[in-house]
Amino acid sequence: MSSNNASSLSSSPQSTEQSFTDLITALRKEIDDLRRQNDEHRETGHNLHVVSKQTAVTFYPYEKLIEYVPSAEGRHFFNSRIPEDDKIYDMADFHLNANMSYTAPLTNVPSQSGISKFNLAIDKELAQIQSMLAHCTRPIDTYASEIVNRGNPDEEWSASSLAILHVIRVMLERIATHITRTREQVVLRSLGHTIKPIGSTPPILEADKIAESRKFTEVVRESSKRLYRSDRSYYKGKHTYQPHRRNDRYNN
């Protein structure tokens, strides 16, 4: 027993030393690999710690694509030349989502608040754009519903189509939400409020939001007044800058 214990104790330091040696060897190998990679990246001008963002692929619309998707020609997206009476599709063919509101929310501001007619007209136009964006979701929802109900949504092609439809819908929601924040700021500026950075809030200009903006405006104005008064009191007192005394001090 004692001889066995002694032999195990005597062999323990050797095994520990061997494990440390193996660890050091492995670490040296990793360091050498990293150093070699750094040298390779330095020669090619690439930084190992900077990963370039994947850029979107650009394609040129081709004849067959334009034949099936004429709008993909894309030259006049911001100034469409399609006549108003040229209806490519009938919107009634696309379903209405029961959870959706296709009319943009009204700006909840009392009529006596003094908002100019110009700003009210801008708000109305922006609300109309929001409603148009909302109706753009109807063909998306209709097509997605057909894929789910008539096909196999777990199939590769169906799953990728549903993912694309979801991305388009989310992008439309982001645009509509951005317009909501813009409408809020237009009205608040018209009320003479100082614009406070606004987070993602669901309602548009509820009464508490107007009160919060008014309170923030009062705080900013009051702090500006205090700063102005403190500056004037500073220069009225003994801290007034007197260059002739400073020159006399250095001359003496």
Please report the pLDDT score of residue 230 as a whole number.
54
N residues, the chain: 252
Q: Tokens at residue 96, please?
A: 């209405």
pTM above 0.75, yes or no: no
Pick from 180, 206, 12: nearest CA to 101: 180
Residue 17, domain member (yes or no): no
Residue 64, domain member (yes or no): no
Please report the pLDDT score of residue 20 as a whole number.
74
Cα of 12 vs its chain's centroid, Å:
59
Residue 244, domain member (yes or no): no
Please report the pLDDT score of residue 147 as a whole number.
92
Q: How many structural domains does the chain have?
A: 1
Residue 76, domain member (yes or no): no
Contact (Cβ atoms closer than 8 angstroms) between residue 212 and residue 184: no
Which residues form the domain of 179?
89-231
Rounded Cα–Cα distance for residues 101 and 96 (Å) = 9
**CB burial string 234-248: b at 16+ within 10 A, e below:** eeeeeeeeeeeeeee
Please report the pLDDT score of residue 240 as a whole number.
45
Rounded Cα–Cα distance for residues 238 and 241 (Å) = 9
Q: Tokens at residue 220, please?
A: 């900013």
Amino acid at 138: R
Please report the pLDDT score of residue 249 as a whole number.
46
Residue 164, domain member (yes or no): yes
Rounded Cα–Cα distance for residues 170 and 137 (Å) = 10
Rounded Cα–Cα distance for residues 231 and 198 (Å) = 31
Residue 6, domain member (yes or no): no
Rounded Cα–Cα distance for residues 113 and 183 (Å) = 16
Write the secondary structure of the chain as one string of H (helix), E (strand) and C (coil): CHHHHHHHHHHHHHHHHHHHHHHHHHHHHHHHHHHHHHHHHHHHCCCCCCCCCCCCCCCCCCHHHHHHCHHHHCCCCCCCCCCCCCCCCCHHHCCCCCCCCCCCCCCCCCHHHCCCHHHHHHHHHHHHHHHHHHHHHHHHHHHHHHHHHHCCCCCHHHHHHHHHHHHHHHHHHHHHHHHHHHHHHHHHHHCCCCCCCCCCCCCCCCHHHHHHHHHHHHHHHHHHHHHHHHHHHHHHCCCCCCHHHHHHHHHC
Please report the pLDDT score of residue 243 as a whole number.
44
Please report the pLDDT score of residue 166 as a whole number.
94
Q: What stretches in the chain show pLDDT beneath 70?
A: 1-16, 41-52, 82-89, 109-113, 194-210, 212-252
Please report the pLDDT score of residue 135 as a whole number.
94
Contact (Cβ atoms closer than 8 angstroms) between residue 182 and residue 126: yes
